[in-house]
Amino acid sequence: MNILFNTSHQRQCGCKDSFRSQVHKKMQEKYIVGIYARLSRDDERAGESVSIENQKEMLSRYVREQGWTLYDYYCDDGVSGTTFDRPGLNRLVQDATDHKINLVLCKDLSRLGRDYIEAGKYTDFVFPSLGCRFIALNDGVDTLRKIALQLNAEKVPAPRSFYYMAEGRENLRGETPFWNDVTVKTILRNEVYIGHMVQNKTGTVSYKNHKQVSKPESEWIKVENTHEPLISQETWDAVQRMDNHPARGRSGKSGMVALFGGLLRCMDCGSSMRYMRDYRKKISEKEPEYKAYVCNRYASDGKNACSSHYINQKVLTQIVMSDMA
């Protein structure tokens, strides 16, 4: 899959071979883990499953199973997840900055923060810029993507960064300068690399509403063999088979599974839907948390990336079960 990027971007950016050895070394090194645990007063109502000690026990066991090295625990007890100015989190970021750790591990994304847009800045910008991998175990979130890691380590500009560089403009919108999973997958699915041009993939909602939305594949306009392909059809087919293999929901300590993990796509932008849980939106004593799926791009970059919308897991399950009946 690396061929997709190296053919074009290396010519444009003049990447040096010395970076490849650094990437190889990075991929082979042992992970030094910082475990982050947080508990607020609101979380205490959820019971023992989210206690500080329970989080530490579960995560340290996972570190041992992976053969990694635990550096330290970073805990914020009794601190709300709506603020990101926390002693434990600040110390964690400082140790990542000082390269004392290269992997941050927490129970789920809500431990990192309740503001999912702000939490997305840490997972998509702060930690990658420090060369630090991030895992939210129960949510199945893992920022390690080998292609993105290699491109970031080689200092290959991400598409938006390259655009601003080529235009001689500043990135006033604050768009991430780093490669991430969404950007990589967008390129992997782009048929321009096998010599085809595909247009009419997006359009406006109406002549009054100019918001850009994705169109169904049946409305795409494809013209084949418009230019020389950069990769073979065989390579393309192999990548698509890998890309179309859905991820499976991960079961957490509580036994709950993100039933539709890896299966949902945002209707507006085509990005995957991220599983989220929110203890603040307590439904009942039997349902102490709100479970839903949110657009991954919106969760990471806010309104500049996509619109705000959620799919309740319970409602979605009922719809699917009724269709199967």
Number of Cβ within 10 Å of residue 277's Cβ equals 20
pLDDT of 71 > 60? The answer is yes
Please give, one letter per residue, the 3-state secondary structure of 99-126: CCCCEEEECCHHHHCCCHHHHHHHHHHH
Give start and end residues of each alpha helix (H) in the chain. 3-13, 18-28, 52-66, 87-97, 109-112, 116-121, 127-129, 146-153, 159-167, 181-188, 233-243, 296-301, 313-324
Between CA 227 and CA 208 the distance in angstroms is 36
The whole-chain average pLDDT of the chain stands at 75
Q: What separation in angstroms does the CA of 120 have from each of 81, 115, 136, 143? A: 13, 9, 12, 11
Interval 124-176: pLDDT, tens: 778 877 878 888 888 767 776 667 777 887 888 888 788 888 888 887 766 66
CA–CA distance, 250 with 237 (Å, rounded to integer): 28
pLDDT per residue as tens digits for the range 283-312: 555 554 567 888 877 776 677 677 777 788
- Kindly indicate the confidence band of residue 106, based on its pLDDT and cuts at 50, 70 and 90: very high
In a 13 Å sphere around the CA of 312, the CA atoms on its Cβ side amount to 9
Is residue 24 pLDDT above 50, yes or no? no
Q: What is the pLDDT of residue 215?
A: 77
Helix 3-13 to helix 146-153 angle (10° resolution) is: 10
What pLDDT shows up at residue 151?
A: 82
What's the pLDDT at 4?
38
Q: Does pLDDT of 12 surpass 90?
A: no
Domains observed in the chain: 23-146 (3.40.50.1390)
